[in-house]
């Protein structure tokens, strides 16, 4: 698995410090980040592919520093936004997935194969030629995830990827993450999704306050709001 390192990370938007004293190394397969709204989870997630560069400290992915090598890092780390409308750029479902492969050096036939198999896997095959904007919210969320996974990045950071999904589709995503050769880092409030993840971090007021097996982290999270 890739090695994601936070070294003495502190981040402020203007005067407001939203992450502080974050030092940790992530090498496990499936990693969850949980915590209250506004605690700094999305900021932490965005740092992994260099969308946000920390005010102080460093974030490294396999020794590539996001501060200096943002473009290289982004090639290895896919990011799935909470709001799929931010990510869907092409008119139809299959075109949108194909668009993700625009920079790959795969041949035409191989691209087609990849698109077809990812559409089938995410239950979108019947919608391949449909206008993407007419999909349901949940289908759009599946499409956004499919469009990132089709590029086979080394790390997949997903910010609340199941907020719009029903129970069945959430389970499909959980199973997909379990089989993924890549490293998924998932910010979520969906505690069922992460039950059998390999590691879970609890972020509170910009700091990691619990870190370990999901069951234990979830217990601490529940206690913190009791
Ligand atoms: P979470 O994902 O846990 O809800 P965020 O990382 O999104 O937390 O936000 C942490 C804090 O930073 C919040 O108070 C939020 O309002 C603020 N914040 C997030 N993004 C920005 C931004 N681009 N500019 C200014 N403040 C921001």
Question: Tens digit of pLDDT for each residue in 63-76?
Answer: 999 999 999 999 99
**Ligand 1 close to Cβ of residue 206 (< 6 A):** no
If you classify domain 4-225 with CATH, what class do you get?
alpha beta
**Ligand 1 close to Cβ of residue 114 (< 6 A):** no
User: pLDDT band at 226, cuts 50/70/90?
Assistant: confident
- Distance in Å, CA 54 to ligand 1 centroid: 13
4-41 per-position pLDDT tens digit:
999 999 999 999 999 999 999 999 999 999 999 999 99
Instruction: For strands 16-26 and 4-13, give the pairing.
Output: antiparallel
- Distance in Å, CA 19 to ligand 1 centroid: 10
- Distance in Å, CA 38 to ligand 1 centroid: 6
- Distance in Å, CA 43 to ligand 1 centroid: 6
CA 171, 176, 180: angle at the middle one, nearest 5?
A: 155
What pTM, to 2 d.p., does this model score?
A: 0.94
Q: With 90 as the cut, is the pLDDT of residue 103 above it?
A: no
- What are the residue ranges spanned by the domains of the chain? 4-225
**Ligand 1 close to Cβ of residue 40 (< 6 A):** yes
Closest by CA to 40, choosing from 201, 197, 198, is: 201
Closest by CA to 142, choosing from 126, 63, 195, is: 126
The neighbouring-strand residues paired with 22 are 9
In the 3-class helix/strand/coil scheme, how is 61-101 assigned residue by residue? ECCEECCCCHHHHHHHEEEECCCHHHCCCCCEHHHHHHHHC
Atom of ligand 1 nearest to the CA of 206: 10
Report the pLDDT value the prediction gives residue 17, as an integer from 0 to 100.
Answer: 98
Here the tokens at position 104 are 């790959």
Closest by CA to 30, choosing from 165, 158, 121, is: 158
Using CA positions, which residue lies closest to atom 13 of ligand 1?
38
Q: What is the b/e burial string over 164-195, where b = at least 16 CB atoms within 10 angstroms of the residue's CB?
A: bbeeebbebbbebbeeeebbbbbbbebbebbe
Q: With 90 as the cut, is the pLDDT of residue 197 above it?
A: yes
Percent of the chain whose pLDDT exceeds 90:
93
128-144 per-position pLDDT tens digit:
999 999 999 999 999 99
CA 194, 197, 199: angle at the middle one, nearest 5?
A: 110
């Amino acid at each position: 698995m890739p090695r994601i390192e936070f070294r003495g990370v502190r981040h402020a938007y203007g005067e407001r410090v939203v992450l502080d004293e974050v030092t940790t190394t992530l090498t496990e397969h499936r990693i969850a980040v949980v915590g209250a709204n506004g605690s700094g989870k999305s900021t932490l997630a965005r740092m992994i592919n260099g969308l946000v560069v920390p005010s102080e400290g460093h974030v490294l992915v396999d020794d590539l520093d996001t501060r200096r090598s943002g473009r290289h890092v982004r090639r290895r780390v896919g990011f799935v936004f909470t709001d799929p409308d931010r990510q869907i750029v092409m008119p139809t479902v299959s075109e949108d997935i194909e668009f993700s492969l625009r920079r790959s050096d795969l041949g035409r036939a191989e691209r087609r194969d990849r698109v077809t198999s990812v559409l089938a896997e995410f239950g979108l095959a019947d919608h391949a030629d449909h206008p993407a904007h007419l999909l349901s919210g949940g289908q759009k969320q599946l499409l956004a995830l499919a469009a990132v996974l089709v590029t086979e990045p080394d790390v997949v950071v997903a910010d609340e990827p199941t907020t719009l999904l029903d129970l069945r589709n959430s389970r499909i995503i959980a199973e997909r993450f379990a089989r993924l050769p890549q490293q998924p880092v998932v910010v979520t409030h969906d505690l069922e999704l992460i039950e059998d993840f390999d590691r879970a971090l609890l972020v509170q007021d910009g700091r990691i306050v619990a870190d370990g097996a999901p069951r234990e982290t979830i217990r601490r999270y529940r206690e913190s709001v009791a």
